[in-house]
Structure 1
Amino acid sequence: MKPGSRLKSSACDTEVVVIRCGSGTIQCGGAAMSEGGGDAVELNPDFAGGSVMGKRYVDAAGTTELLCVKPGKGSLALDGTVLVLKEAKPLPASD
């Protein structure tokens, strides 16, 4: 997988674009994501927090970053650890 790849969830409607990728398996709804989407699987209730279109998701180390281009019911995860929303950088004060 490389930056610019578009991944689809097999557990819900979520689609993401890879911005930065490290090692590990990117998952959504408890199932691995792939470029083709794969066979439909059940959404894992532990990973059913949803994803928001236009938001960036990162892992704790900052090695993997995904941009959600189509929302869905599944939570994005890396090797079973849920990714968090990337916070916007604060703008400098304009006194």
Structure 2
Amino acid sequence: MLKKIYIVRHCEAQGQPSESQLTEKGSKQAEYLVDFFSNTKIDRIISSPFLRAIQSVEPLSEKTNIKIGIDDRLSERKLSATDLPDWYEKLKATFNNMELKFEGG
């Protein structure tokens, strides 16, 4: 049986910390997801434990009566505890060298 998996990035949030909530615009985007998936059969809803991600799928969960499953593996990883002006290059480097870690990462 062929299944489709939809990956949705969280809606607009107030910040990057795990406890950051959705903005007003982000809440409207979350409501739009309900309309977007209105003609789609959904079996499961899985989210990272980050509040912004959970809030992004809550309206869909309520509409479909599907409980949100939390999967810690969907959490963002911490690249470093220090500011890295060239963070994007450093991030790419970690994909080329799986052993590469930066301070506090």
TM-score range, shorter chain: under 0.3
Larger Rg: 2
Give TM-score, length-normalised by structure 2.
0.23
Q: Which has the higher contact order (CA 8 A, sep 6+)?
A: 1
